[in-house]
Amino acid sequence: MKLKTQTDCPVCHRTMEFDWETQDIPHFGEALLISGVCSCGFRHCDTMLLSQKEPLRHRLQVDDEDDLNARVIRSSSGTIRIPQLGIDVEPGFASDCYISNVEGVLRRIKDIVSFASKSALREGEISKAERGDEIIRELEEAIEGRGGLTILLEDPLGNSAILSDDVEVSALTDEEAASLQTGMILLDEGSEG
C-alpha cells in the first residue's frame, strides 16, 4: 500500500507532503514507513510495526568476544536489560527499531550512561556520577570480551530477537508482557467503546 497525504509543516507552516508505505521487513514483519520533507528542511520519518507475535524473552550470557558478535534485532517495543548493572532500556514514544550486535548495543548503552553521568556531575550529584563511571568501566570490560554480563531482550509484541546458538528463548507470561512498555499506542481490537 502506498499513500500520500499533506499537512502543515510544524516549523514554517507551509504545506508538506508525507509518503506512507507498507513493507515486509525481515525479522520485523509488516511495517508502515512514514516520511515527509518540507521545503524549509524539516524532516520527519517514522516506522510503525504492524505485526504482533508471541511475547518473548531472549537471554544471552555475554562472556567472551564471540558473544559480542551475536545479532540483536530490537523492535520499537523491545526492552533491553542488563541485570548485573541495574540497566533497563525501555522503549519510549520515539523509540527506533535497529539491528546491531551485542557489542553495538553495549556501546549504545555506554554512550547513554556517559551522558547521564556527565549531567549528574554538572548538577552536583557526585554519587550518581561515580556510579555511572563504575557502570561505564564494567561495560568497557564487557566490550573488550572480559564480560560476565547477561543481556535480556523482552518484547511484549514478539518482534525483537537475539540470534545466537547460545541464546535462551522463553515465552513471557501475560502479566510480564503487560508490565512492559511498548513505546507506542496499542489498539485492542476486542475492546468496546
Predicted model pTM: 0.74
pLDDT in tens, 28-65: 678 788 889 999 999 887 777 676 789 999 999 999 88
Rounded to the nearest integer, the mean pLDDT of the chain is: 87
DSSP string, the chain: -EEEEEEE-TTT--EEEEEEEEEEETTTEEEEEEEEE-TTS-EEEEEEE------EEEEEEE-SHHHHT-EEEE-TT-EEEEGGGTEEE---TTPPPEEEEHHHHHHHHHHHHHHHHHHHHHTT-HHHHHHHHHHHHHHHHHHTT---EEEEEEETTS--EEE-TT-EEEEPPHHHHHHS--SS----TT---
Q: How many domains does the chain have?
A: 2
Percentage of the chain beyond pLDDT 90 is: 58
- As given in the structure block, the three cell numbers for residue 77 are 517495543
pLDDT in tens, 79-131: 999 999 999 998 876 677 788 999 999 999 999 999 999 999 999 999 999 99
Same-domain check for residues 20 and 93: no
Same-domain check for residues 113 and 18: no
pLDDT in tens, 11-24: 999 999 999 999 88
Q: Minimum mean pLDDT among 64-68, 90-94, 132-136: which range?
A: 90-94
Domain stop point among 32, 49, 66? 49
CATH number (domain holding residue 41): 2.20.25.420
Q: Minimum mean pLDDT among 119-123, 125-129, 140-144, 183-187: which range?
A: 183-187
Domain that holds residue 125: 56-179
pLDDT at 191: 44
Does 187 fall in a domain?
A: no
Same-domain check for residues 96 and 13: no
pLDDT at 189: 46
Same-domain check for residues 34 and 106: no
Same-domain check for residues 38 and 74: no
Same-domain check for residues 43 and 89: no
